[in-house]
Structure 1
Amino acid sequence: MLSTATAIAPPSLDTLLDGFTARPAAPGLDAALETLMRSLCGSHYDALPLPGQGRTLQRWQTLARVAGCDLGLAKLYEGHTDALAILAECAPTSFAREGIWGVWASEPPDARARIVARDGDQVRLGGRKAWCSGALQIDRALITAWDGDDRPQLVAIDLKHSTQRVTTQGWQAVGMASTASIEIDFDHSPGIAIGAPGQYLDRPGFWQGGGGIAACWYGAAEALARYLREHCRKPQADAHAQAHLGAADMALQGARLALHDCARWIDRHPAANAELPVRRTRAVVEAAAGDVIRHVGRALGATPFCRSGHFARLSADLPVYLRQSHAERDLAALGQHLAGTVSEDWSL
């Protein structure tokens, strides 16, 4: 007698992403993002290698692959996988991790979440949290809140709680509109303290996770450059387009090598402060992505912006996503770090 039905294997990551890439462009929030994120989690494609454990490059390669598909998806996916890495580093092993997670740690001067009451790990929150990307699509988030001693404390929140008010009027950008970064007001809202005050910033994973953002920038820039390479394979491609392709290749190769080198450094020094290699890598990748955007656009003209949904989305989203860098402020911080490091050697 034949056995009962064999379990059906989930579709591959490439199959899920390729189907999503091919959809037409649409403005505003995209319900399909949440559906795909739940499919990725249900198929355990969110179980990436943790940074600093020997497979950091593999982690970043998956982030880059998702970003090359769609940066709105990458925003949800990177935040979720970063949250899982933070919980693995800071939370007790018994802590529940169900649902889609985000990480919101931005601290603008006009919006601050505060811990207004505490009973052990159980806390109550007041104030406001800004730049809450994907708040309308995810289930839970790790946020930074400030305690009575004015120290940042990581807090896990459930976004379905009625004492939180989501304000959606602040987001006006066309780029990254599918995962709008909105604000949340807290009114004695419950949360769970994760780790010790200050641990979020002091742990090795803080800068290790910052390298994952650069991998997303790289993945989107690489996907844009592929359009130019396909154009240059056609007989009608001229020398100007080929020169732009050469410039894009030069930028991507430099960024790729920087990411490889940074991942190796992190895996060799898993408990060390990775600020210098990650700041340097983010600067290299940001510059490369800007170069690719410029060269691809000048070479291909208006056609892909107007006729390719995938190209149009990446072109609108990547300049906004790149602004997770703080531009000259980040370069100044890199320079300050280098000026205070006597052992840094530029010799070949």
Structure 2
Amino acid sequence: MSPPGARACLRARLSGALARLDPDAGPAQGLAELVHQGLDEVPLPAQGRTLMRWQLLCAVAEHDLSLAKLYEGHLDALAVLAEVAPGTPRPVGSTWGMWASEAPGGRTRFEACAADEVRLNGRKAWCSGAARLSHGVLTAWSADGTKPQLVRVAMAQPGVCVSDAAWQAVGMAASASGDITFQDAVGHRVGDAGAYLQRPGFWQGGAGIAACWHGGALALANTLRRAIAEAPPEQRSAFRMAALGRVDVALQSTAALLREAARWIDEHPARDASALALRVRLCAERSATLVLDEAGRALGATPFCRDRRFARMAADLPVYLRQSHAERDLAALGERTAAAEGAPWSL
């Protein structure tokens, strides 16, 4: 485990870098700048410093959720490569996406060529930042379609076409989650077929997304807290205080669960973290939704209309939260809870 001084130094470097980013340059350029400064060289999951990794994700998300989407995807791609194919070459300054969504009718297929080289054909949807990133790791399928195969691909090549025509988002618009069409594009297999879903890091990485949602909620909650703290006494109503109290309970609960989850993952790096990941994601989703509602009810239309940063975060956060599968995830957690041994809720 890294000493507190090292953790504080990395977080301070990230904070300074975020403050210096050009807000009009876009998240892909912001990611490139963070990579240039070595701020993607962060602890991998389940190696004793998972909380530090999540703290960095949270900090980026509190600054800009579209940037956090690309930063989290970049870090996830690097973690996948480190877990499944250590030693994979990574060009200096490269920026990576992790694209594993499987849209109906949008499956990407591959044909083996020589050694680990493959040819990619088909469409991949929901590829955040694809038009501006240098590389990607994606799931593709062989002709038999039995298991997904991880493939890494350089984006700057013939046969790779990115379109954002289907991306009509207002929230998270800058993440530019477009579609990629492959036509005999060259890629390279990463690990064995099925490795993406079977590895311990799949759920460990999935839990980390909750830190991004928590960061977005913090940005909104801090606007509410500042508005109350700076208001004259006559405007510090019990109604607003109650709203802040509900926000505090929600965010403290999520933060505690994130800390507990990070510790458990570090202590059990090879264990199935699916129930834990589902729990922390659902908790973060619920608290973020509550924060958005409470802030709006307590502050009215003013921050939505006159605070550009708040308005953008309020538009972005609900879209990012839909990376949760809602009732499907609740049902999956319920199934795991029903099968659990012992007393899962005891102190």
Tell me the equivalent position of 1:199. 195
Runs of 4+ in 1 over 3 A off after TM superposition: none
Tell me the equivalent position of 2:291. 292
Tell me the equivalent position of 1:15. 16
- In 1, distance between residues paired with 2:338 and 2:143? 35
Tell me the equivalent position of 2:101. 106
Tell me the equivalent position of 2:272. 273
Q: Is the 8 A contact 2:228 2:236 kept in 1?
A: yes
Tell me the equivalent position of 1:84. 78
- In 1, distance between residues paired with 2:241 and 2:340? 41
- In 1, distance between residues paired with 2:182 and 2:268? 39
Tell me the equivalent position of 1:334. 333
The amino acid of 2:238's aligned partner reads: A
- In 2, distance between residues paired with 1:256 and 1:12? 22
Per mean C-alpha deviation after superposition, the further-off stretch among 185-194 and 117-126 is 117-126
- Where 2:31 maps in the other structure, the secondary structure is helix
- In 2, distance between residues paired with 1:56 and 1:274? 13
Give the Å deviation of 1:159.
Answer: 1.1
Q: Is the 8 A contact 2:97 2:129 kept in 1?
A: yes
Q: Is the 8 A contact 2:14 2:56 kept in 1?
A: no
Tell me the equivalent position of 2:210. 214
Provide, for residues 67-114 of structure 1, a one-character-per-residue CA deviation record: whole Å limited to 9, x for no partner: 000001101111111111111111231522541001000012221001
- TM-score, structure 1 normalization: 0.92
Give the Å deviation of 1:149.
Answer: 3.3
Cα RMSD (Å) of the superposition?
1.5
The amino acid of 1:294's aligned partner reads: D
Per mean C-alpha deviation after superposition, the further-off stretch among 147-156 and 62-71 is 147-156
- Where 2:346 maps in the other structure, the secondary structure is coil
- Where 1:141 maps in the other structure, the secondary structure is strand
- Where 1:256 maps in the other structure, the secondary structure is helix
Per mean C-alpha deviation after superposition, the further-off stretch among 94-103 and 243-252 is 94-103
Tell me the equivalent position of 2:316. 317
Quick one: percent identity of the two aligned structures? 52
The amino acid of 1:226's aligned partner reads: N
- TM-score, structure 2 normalization: 0.92
- In 2, distance between residues paired with 1:97 and 1:212? 25
Tell me the equivalent position of 1:70. 64
Does 1:164 pair with 2:160?
Answer: yes
- In 2, distance between residues paired with 1:248 and 1:273? 31
Give the Å deviation of 1:19.
Answer: 4.0
Tell me the equivalent position of 1:5. none
Note the residue ranges of structure 1 that are not aligned, 5 or more in a row.
Answer: 1-10, 24-29
Q: How many residues align?
A: 331
Q: Which residue of the other structure, out of 168, 171, 174, is the alignment partner of 2:170?
A: 174
The amino acid of 2:237's aligned partner reads: D
Give the Å deviation of 1:119.
Answer: 2.1
Give the Å deviation of 1:303.
Answer: 1.2
